[in-house]
Structure 1
Amino acid sequence: MFHKINFPSCVNQLERIVSFQRKLLNFACSSSASLPITESQLKTEFGDEIGEWLWEKLWTKRKSGKKAQSKFHKALEKLIRYIERHSTMSAKIMDAFDHDIQFHKHLNDPNFNFKYRGELSLTVQKVVKALLTAFYTDLLASGFPSAIHGQTQKFNRDKFISSFWSANSKLEVCPACDGRRSPKIENKVYSDADHFFPKSIYPFLSVHYANLVPLCLDCNRSMKGDRDPIDDPSKEPLVNTFHPYANPAISQVDVIVSRNQVGKRQVKIEDKAGMPSRRVASLNRVFKLEKQWLDHLDYVVKSTVEDVIEFRRRLTRRRLTLTLDDLKDDLEDKLTGNLTKLGEKHYYVMQCSYLHYTLTNNQELTELLAESTK
């Protein structure tokens, strides 16, 4: 992830939801779970209020008015049925869950590996993923009751997104691509809640506060999707990522505009720690930033030319001629001002990179001056 962001103010609620998620998983993996699932069984296990709410979530209404098992219901039953046949897997599943949800405390540990992928068979992964994915899509989408998260109002996906943007009120761009942040209409921000580590690959982190980040729709749906930011799970997986909350890229990379051998502009992201860089390669693989920003560079150049044309007109009205020194001073002022607005204006990363390149390349500066006279 590129920009520095703050944790949302709802961390405590999400931690309590993860605790409930663990309790649900433990219930499915324990001998106390039996089929068919009954409302009284859930109330005994989770208490009357949560048990009644959970029972309602196991069903969905058809057009005919009849109730049918929800995806969440089917996934819960499938895991219970699997554990009935493979009871020895219960402890392994719970151990992997307890281990993996502590990932955020090991971001600088080169030896940390996720147990879900490393120690559970593909069959176990499949039945666990079905339940915990449904936990996010079915339960968080509709909202958890206060008995689970401890607040007076129902907590859902929209509450998380609102909490995130409230904690990052100065950030006016998408944290990943530096483009326009999603629109806010009537106090609702229409952005996606991205799983940095995709829930399809790391379902234990489906509602983990350190794994959820609102992104623009293009980044989440068209660019990132389910791409894994970890390039090799067996070799220092976490230290080779730019984690959105703890290890953003913005202070650790240089975004460089230049021209290739045939004179075309290009954009490169270089790791300040040295190249080649696995974490920069992963950043590009997941979000395609170099390609996104190269596509936007033409707009930045045109916008800069328009600014220079206007600057020339102002000087002309004063009967002055625009010189290279004048242009350089103006661009230096713009760069200084733009650097203070990174994260507040969309695509200022590209603007700053282009201005820096122009100021350090006399040919580019001369061409910009000439372009403003056409």
Structure 2
Amino acid sequence: MNSWLRGFLLLFFLAVAGAAATFWSAQHALVKPLSLPLNGLRMDVEPGSNLSRVLTRLQEQGVVRSPLWVRVYARVKEQGSIHPGEYMIPAGSNAMDLVARLHRGDVTRYRVTLVEGWTFQQALAQIRNAKRIKSTQDGETVASAAAALGIDGNPEGRIFPDTYVYRSGSSDLDLLRQAHERMENVLAEEWQQRAEGLPYNNPYEALIMASIVEKETGVPWERDEIAGVFVRRLGKGMRLQTDPTVIYGLGDSYDGNLRRSHLRAATPYNTYVISGMPPTPIALPGREAIRAAMHPKAGESLYFVAKGDGSHHFSATLSEHNRAVQEFQLKRRSDYRSAPVEAKNRE
């Protein structure tokens, strides 16, 4: 074998060996699982970060072996752009999984639930105590939150009770604005479909009624019937005489025991004293309560009394109502309760 052929073969084998080594290095960098804790790795990608910066940081932590090959792979796959946020990288992931996750923006998402019947203050506390929420001065108090939402006065009932999904770093105001916008949309939708002849001049008055229905309802199927009672009372010029409004008006002074003196106390929310509805909602009503207020059940009942199992006895006359009070409240059993256990737990 002459010398040129030997030289050619040597160069050929060196090239093959180099290519094999390069292929092995790339495979090792891309396919082999990353060096992650058994429970995975939580990491934050700051706004303005790029893939190179993230890979360099992960290399310093011993997670990524060869950032160069990962960058080359991302460029070939056109996955070089990434999204900021909090990521959870599961154990067993490789560099290709990492690139795809960053490119798709598969950030960790959290949930917070605002419950029907809560007050605005309870909902605000729930939001500010949620995981990975950024608290702001504008959302620190009910008054500052209302101002930030553009609400003049008491914001009670102006955010929608629901489960909201958010990213790490979202602020309390981000969620409040989302919940406020949701309530505005739901209220507008239900107002457009309302029944005729309702005693409300605008959607806000319907929202006030819906909040009362929400607080008075122990079992879901009675919402429209309770709304019917209150609408008929308004139509007849009767006072609403509903305990939840009195309790709301007492504020922090309410100790869980509603006394006769409370029913005589002069507050804007004492519907035993004032005519018509209170000036604002008293809680966060859900869609079903709003719908009930917009579609009250027809009938003749003007009174209702709790039966002790969460439901109510409805009466058309005062004499019938008094008999129901005697049966269901003045002769209470030891296990009597005015609402079912699950309803109490959610308030």
> Normalising to structure 2: TM-score of the pair?
0.32
Structure ranking higher in helix proportion: 1
Q: Which has the higher contact order (CA 8 A, sep 6+)?
A: 1
Normalising by structure 1, report the TM-score.
0.30
Rg comparison, structure with higher value:
2
